[in-house]
A and B are shown apart, each in its own frame.
Chain A
């Protein structure tokens, strides 16, 4: 999707619920995939329990695999952010890299970028459109 300015439109997608207990994550991933196909620049923010979506080695027997879907989206150019304090609260951050001054999470899909609330606000500022999933 290209604006009149010739620049790509940015679509921000905020997910606020964990995968599998409902279909918000599925729906968000499908919207993201379609948006990439339409030419949007897609940014995804995983907030609250939604951070469980980026856990490695998800193996749902019968459900849409959210980990694989996020990987496909990352491969296609979507930027995927995760809330750092949500991840710390839920035990995802196991190591602190003193040299780089960043937390590492060995159980998180490798392309996910952890950011603070400032990163969330930066995404809001960049986004031409924003959709939110999973807050009910």
Chain B
């Protein structure tokens, strides 16, 4: 089974990157590819729970729902600890099921576990 790592480095909504990555990520998992999403840098904001748009002002698909759907299909989501702490984000604020790893383990993951790496 092919193993793909997708590193998300941008926050949700401001760009198409996150939506596009999770779209391909979910499709890949559902078609038999092992996919790990790594949230690093500004990408850690993708992992926040409670993302809401009550007035519908943004009018974009919910990134939080995309993350939940991706994990429900069998995808793994890892968050880099230092990116969280430097932004004052606590693990309790993250969507349930996300794994927090320190940067050494994230680097090891990138080097050892990905046949293909895509950075969005």
Give A contacts to B, CB under 8 Å.
12, 14, 16, 47-49, 117-118, 120-121, 124-125, 127, 129-130, 132, 135-136
Residues in B whose Cβ lies below 8 Å from that of A135:
9, 17, 118-120
Complex Cα gap A14–B32 (Å):
20
Which of the candidate stretches B19-27, B66-74, B87-95, B97-105 sits at the interface with the other chain?
B19-27
Does B65 make an interface contact (CB < 8 A)?
Answer: no
Give B contacts to A, CB under 8 Å.
2, 4, 9, 16-17, 20, 23-24, 27-28, 31-33, 115-120
User: Given A47-B20, A117-B27, A120-B27, is A125 in contact with B33 using a C-beta cutoff of 8 Å?
Assistant: yes
User: Given A132-B118, A135-B120, is A120 in contact with B20 using a C-beta cutoff of 8 Å?
Assistant: no
Those 10 A-B pairs whose CB atoms lie nearest each other, nearest first: A130-B116, A117-B27, A132-B118, A135-B120, A121-B31, A121-B28, A48-B16, A121-B27, A48-B20, A135-B119
CB < 8 Å neighbour of B2 from A16, A118, A125, A132: A125
Residues in A whose Cβ lies below 8 Å from that of B2:
124-125
Residues in A whose Cβ lies below 8 Å from that of B27:
117-118, 120-121
**CB atoms of B117 and A130 under 8 A apart:** yes
Residues in B whose Cβ lies below 8 Å from that of A117:
23-24, 27
Complex Cα gap A115–B118 (Å):
19
**CB atoms of B120 and A16 under 8 A apart:** yes
The minimal Cβ–Cβ distance linking B25 to chain A, given in whole angstroms, is 10
Residues in B whose Cβ lies below 8 Å from that of A124:
2, 4, 28, 33, 116
Residues in A whose Cβ lies below 8 Å from that of B20:
16, 47-48
User: Given A121-B33, A125-B33, is A132 in contact with B119 using a C-beta cutoff of 8 Å?
Assistant: yes
Residues in A whose Cβ lies below 8 Å from that of B31:
118, 121, 125
Known pairs A16-B120, A124-B116 / 11 extra A-B pairs, C-beta < 8 Å: A48-B17, A48-B20, A121-B33, A124-B28, A125-B31, A125-B32, A129-B116, A130-B116, A130-B118, A135-B118, A135-B119
Residues in B whose Cβ lies below 8 Å from that of A47:
20, 24
**CB atoms of A120 and B24 under 8 A apart:** yes
Complex Cα gap A14–B116 (Å):
11
